[in-house]
Amino acid sequence: MYDINENWSTYASYTSIFKPQSYRDASGAFLSPVVGKNYEAGVKSDWFNSRLTTSFTVFRTELDNVGESTGRTIEGSTDYAYIARKGTVSRGVEFEVNGALTDNWQMTFGGTRYVAEDRDGEAVSSYLPRTQLKLFTSYRLPMLQELTVGGGVNWQTHVWSESAGPDGNGTFYSEQGSYALVNLFGRYQVTKQLALQANVNNLFDKEYDTNLEGDVVYGAPRNVSVTASYSF
């Protein structure tokens, strides 16, 4: 990491990757561990005594043996068979902006965009969103300092999956369109130690599939939770 001046700094990092995986191939044998390298570089800024901070990062990951579902089960098992993809390259950018708009109003906005392909240019892990955006805000009421309200929106682009049919000839294609989830919360500081919080998740009861590689698994519908926390 290098400090350019009092507001800006830059950094770079390199990481080697070795990750065992539990996926198995059509014969039932476990795939070899994922191995590879990750490169990352970016800039960060800090303004107004940290009332506003920003970050911007570019990254590139090179991997071998990345498990990819075939869409078919292993003989004698209900588990899906996977193949190991060689020469997988993921590259992209991410950013985040955090700011105190007022003494009582906080906001965070960020996003990620990347592509992942094998050495033949075919998409890898297409069931993961290529673009994501997140916005979160909280506001402490000036007339009632113990109460904080807020919420956020998480948006992602469409995802898809292609797999061979049971006979190995046909191809099944499934897709989940882009969608946004809206969440709200309210927190009341009863005492310095005790706080009560209520959350509303998936406010508009969005229906979406979280498992394109197998049977449909819908995400959690609209739900409400109330929690109490106490610190000593």
pLDDT of residue 68: 83
pLDDT in tens, 62-81: 999 988 888 788 888 878 88
Quote the CA–CA distance of 181 and 221 in Å, as a whole number: 10
| CATH number of the 2-230 domain | 2.40.170.20
Among candidate residues 120, 103, 100, the one with its CA nearest the CA of residue 53: 100
pLDDT of residue 177: 93
pLDDT of residue 54: 97
pLDDT in tens, 165-179: 555 555 667 889 999
CA 91 from centre of chain: 15
Please name the residues in contact with 173: beta carbons below 8 A apart, sequence gap of 6 or more: 160, 161, 162
Among candidate residues 57, 44, 51, the one with its CA nearest the CA of residue 6: 44
| Tens digits of pLDDT across the chain (232 residues) | 999 999 999 999 999 999 999 998 888 889 999 999 999 999 999 999 999 999 999 999 999 998 888 878 888 887 888 888 889 999 999 999 999 999 999 999 999 999 999 888 888 888 899 999 999 999 999 999 999 999 999 999 999 887 655 555 556 678 899 999 999 999 999 999 999 999 999 999 999 998 877 678 899 999 999 999 999 8
Q: What is the DSSP letter of 33?
A: P
Quote the CA–CA distance of 102 and 108 in Å, as a whole number: 13
* Contact (CB, 8 A) for 163 and 213: yes
Quote the CA–CA distance of 220 and 209 in Å, as a whole number: 10
Q: Is residue 159 packed enough to be buried (19+ CB in 10 Å), middle (13-18) or exposed (0-12)? A: buried
Beta bridge partners of 36: 17, 63
pLDDT of residue 166: 53
Quote the CA–CA distance of 130 and 152 in Å, as a whole number: 20
Task: Output the CA angle 121-127-133, nearest 5 degrees.
Answer: 100
- The CA–CA distances, whole Å, from 161 to 18, 130, 164, 166 equal 26, 13, 10, 15
Model confidence, pTM: 0.84
pLDDT of residue 207: 95
